[in-house]
Amino acid sequence: MGRPHRVGIVGTGFISAAYLGTLAGHPGVTIAAVADIDAARAATVAAGLAGCRALPVDELLQDPQVDTVLNLTVPAAHGPVALAAIANHKQVYGEKPLAADMTAARALLDQAAAFDVAVGCAPDTVLGTGIQTARAAVDDGLIGRPLSAVAVMATPGHERWHPNPDFYYLPGGGPLLDMGPYYLSALIHLLGPIVAVTGAASRLRDSRVIGSGPRAGSPVPVEVDTHVTGVLHHAGGVLSTITTSFDAVRTTAAPIEVHGETGTLAVPDPNHFDGDVRLFALGADDWRTLEPSAGYQGAGRGIGLLDMITTGAPRASGALALHVLDAMTSLLRSAAEGRRIDLTTTADRPPVVPFTPASGWRS
């Protein structure tokens, strides 16, 4: 099998623990180095990983002992860190979004093409058994010809639980850019790329109050729309509607429903890897839960990186992430301008993930 693939992690904050839960100890991967603007935090993480070194960020990006950079920095740094890694001929897999805006995201992928290196990007939750079993059901014709889909993410806002929620309510934040990648990636896996969007948005109030932690009771200014809804026009003619909200209290809606001529699928939360997929067939008396038939079983954050390393053609690809970013920023622009926006990108519908038991991808 050769030597394990050598990964260097830039950014050792909260989300890094989830990735290490998947990658640390995997026989196909070694965590060669970690880096963070907080050197002490990086040193603590490195100390818990056999053979791992804590390096300054610039040194990690140039280190010949690193094959792929796992970019877990804050969104504003996604583009610069990825560009520097690519310039050193390293593959990149990063957290969402691909970059802070479309200009930076396009530059990143153009440089990757010029240097002939692969780029992958979260979310990889869509590669689990939840979304992939639903995808297989659509492909197998269990709902007939797909006609429409509905996606709903409704919460009262992250300030209720997050001790430092400011960035959720500043430019670059909001419910669509925060949670939209999960839902849009899932809809593209299920129904194919998007050609145009029509959006609307609103803002319930101009400030929020932090509900937990040392800053509890402090106000947070709101500079973005906190309820975003829209219609997605898919290339095959399917119309999806999406609602993402930091203004709602609760919903009974399925995270995603896909309607076809002969059935409806209730699809589990795309922010999770698994969950029940339910089918209501035309003429049936009740919902039927489908057995998992596709996807990585028991997966966690980082399965997209393993998929990229093992297949050489990432399903959680940079091209898909660029298309998702295009759809989200176009939805926000459509809401602001009051018109339909045609997208300037597309992406291939990724191949379905064959059902892979946990023992199959962990070994």
- The DSSP line for 167-199 is GGGSTT-SHHHHHHHHHHHHHHHHH--EEEEEE
φ/ψ of residue 313, rounded to 5: -140, 85
**Ramachandran bin of 76, using left for φ above 0, alpha for ψ from -120 to 50, beta for the remaining angles:** alpha
Q: Tell me the β-bridge partners of 280.
A: 264
Q: Is 361 part of a structural domain of the chain?
A: no
Do 218 and 167 belong to one domain? yes
Q: Which pTM was predicted?
A: 0.95
Range of the domain at 238: 125-295+318-342
Report the C-alpha gap between 151 and 159 in whole angstroms: 23
Looking at residues 62-91, what average pLDDT do you find? 96
Query: 198 and 108, same structural domain?
Result: no
121 beta partners = 94
Q: pLDDT tens-digit profile of 156-188?
A: 999 999 988 998 999 888 999 999 999 999 999
Hey, how many other C-beta atoms are within 10 angstroms of the C-beta on 107? 14
Residues 108 and 189 in one domain: no
Helix (H, G, I), strand (E, B) or coil at 13: coil
Place of tokens 């699809």: 267
Q: Which of 323, 315, 324, 306 is nearest to 360 (CA)?
A: 306
**20 and 143 part of one domain:** no
In the chain, how many domains are there? 2
Whole-number pLDDT of residue 171: 86
CATH number of the domain that residue 99 is part of: 3.40.50.720
Does residue 224 sit in the same domain as residue 143? yes
Please write the tens of the pLDDT for every residue from 108-133. Answer: 999 999 999 999 999 999 999 999 99
pLDDT at 102 over 60: yes
Pair (82, 202) in one structural domain:
no
Residues 141 and 273 reside in one and the same domain: yes
Q: Are residues 324 and 243 in the same domain?
A: yes
Q: Mark whether 92 and 204 lie in a shared domain.
A: no
- pLDDT over 80 (residue 16): yes
SS3 296: strand
